[in-house]
Amino acid sequence: MTDPDTKTMTDDPRSTSSSDGGDASAPAPRVPLPPRSATSGAVSTATDREVLTTAPGISVTGLDAFYGSGHAIKDVSIEYVPNKVTAMIGPSGSGKSTVLRCINRMHEEIPGARATGKVMLDTDDIYGSGVDVVAVRRAIGMVFQKPNPFPTMSIFDNVAAGLKLNGIKGINLKERVEQSLQGASLWDEVKDRLNEPGIGLSGGQQQRLCIARTIAVEPQVILMDEPCSALDPIATLKIEELISDLKQRFTIVIVTHNMQQAARVADTTAFFLAGELIEHAPTAEVFTNPSDSRTEEYVTGKFG
Ligand SMILES: Nc1ncnc2c1ncn2[C@@H]1O[C@H](COP(=O)(O)OP(=O)(O)OP(=O)(O)O)[C@@H](O)[C@H]1O
Ligand SMILES: [Mg+2]
């Protein structure tokens, strides 16, 4: 087991603190991200839709995460493959959300929380010295369990909000909002009511609105923490179809308690138990021929 006192995310001591490292002596922030590029689809496989934009993968090595003295994540190493959907499954409390929050540096915002280990976005160490945390969170967007549109804002402003929060200027705002709503498969349903409140939409539409808000800032990776758990089966299927579209442009990580959902959308599935990664393999293998008996017990409903 890793000793939390002897290992840090990087050599940068700020990375183990619960602040976001905004100290004045820090090197100038930099945008740590590779440019996005068009591709011929070389990453795709026969069963995939064509890859339209190559997204970077994420590589996690030796991740340990703590809440105070509570050791929530134990020496987890996992690869999230570019332009693929990785599902994270496991019982409640097994650490799935914590891993997600470590990937986009939100974990450190929780008082008393810290993490050690390494998280690479392609070739960039997201806990590296001088990395701009805001740029990391822009590159690695997150969609939450409960749709969370800004309650006082219109549909249009909800999508534009991410752009404003990230200080993105010099773009055609109307065009970007429309593209994002198209990308989230919501445009046709809302194009005539863009000035109406976002919270006036149905739950499934609100979740697609939140996905539009996330993709408006052109992230490279999208983390989704149980994005369908508050939705009915029809709205859930819409989001699942959308996820399959989105992987043409983004690398996707989805936490789900729904085994069928993982089987439907995920290229690979990772099973977590008590803060440890037990198994990560192609989804069909995890569900039909898992290598660990604990995975088998979980996916066959014997516990969890
Ligand atoms: N803010 C927090 N403060 C203290 N402990 C926490 C906090 N958040 C999570 N934990 C603990 O960390 C461990 C992992 O929790 P986490 O939320 O990552 O699990 P999970 O797999 O996402 O569970 P669920 O499926 O219920 O969402 C649990 O033991 C949990 O109690
Ligand atoms: Mg969770």
Ligand 1 proximal residues by C-beta, below 6 Å: 67, 70, 72, 90, 92-98, 110
Higher-confidence position of 63 and 9: 63
- The per-residue pLDDT for 304 is 63
Q: How large is the average pLDDT for residues 73-81? A: 98
With a pLDDT cut of 70, the percent of the chain lying above it is 84
Q: Whose CA is nearest to atom 6 of ligand 1?
A: 67
Of 63, 73, 92, which is best to mutate to test ligand 1, by the most ligand atoms within 8 angstroms of its C-beta? 92
CA of 15 to the centre of ligand 2 (A): 23
Q: What is the pLDDT of residue 52?
A: 84
pLDDT over 90 (residue 109): yes
The CATH superfamily of 40-148+220-299 is P-loop containing nucleotide triphosphate hydrolases (3.40.50.300)
Give the residue-averaged pLDDT of 248-273: 97
- How far from each other are the two terminal CA atoms of the chain, in whole angstroms? 25
* Whole-number average pLDDT of the chain: 86
Q: Is it the case that residue 179 has pLDDT exceeding 90?
A: yes
Average pLDDT of the residues in 236-257:
95
For ligand 1, pick from 76, 98, 104 the residue to mutate: most ligand atoms within 8 Å of CB. Answer: 98
Q: HEC profile for the chain? A: CCCCCCCCCCCCHHHHCCCCCCCCCCCCCECCCCCCEECCCCCCCCCCCCCCEECCCEEEEEEEEEECCEEEEEEEEEEECCCCEEEEECCCCCCHHHHHHHHCCCHHHCCCEEEEEEEEECCEECCCCCECHHHHHHHEEEECCCCCCCCCCEHHHHHHHHHHHCCCCCCCHHHHHHHHHHHCCCHHHHCCCCCCEHHHCCHHHHHHHHHHHHHHCCCCEEEEECCCCCCCHHHHHHHHHHHHHHCCCCEEEEECCCHHHHHHHCCEEEEEECCEEEEEEEHHHHHHCCCCHHHHHHHCCCCC
Query: Which residue has better confidence, 220 or 17?
Result: 220
Query: Assign residue 84 a region: left if phi > 0, alpha if psi is -120 to 50, beta otherwise?
Result: beta
Cα-to-centroid distance, 67 and ligand 1 (Å): 9
* Residue 168 pLDDT class (50, 70, 90 cuts): confident
pLDDT tens per residue across span 4-15: 333 344 333 333
Question: Stretch 239-261: mean pLDDT, rounded?
Answer: 95
pLDDT confidence band for 48 (50 / 70 / 90): low
Residue 223 pLDDT: 98
pLDDT surpasses 70 at 190: yes
**Looking at ligand 1, which atom is closest to the CA of residue 257?**
25
Q: Where are the domains positioned within the chain?
A: 40-148+220-299
- Closest ligand 1 atom to the C-alpha of 95? 18
- pLDDT value at position 167? 81
Mean pLDDT of 241-265: 96
Starting from the CA of residue 276, give the closest ligand: 1
Average pLDDT (44-48) is 44
The pLDDT assigned to 169 comes to 83
Mean pLDDT of 164-175: 87
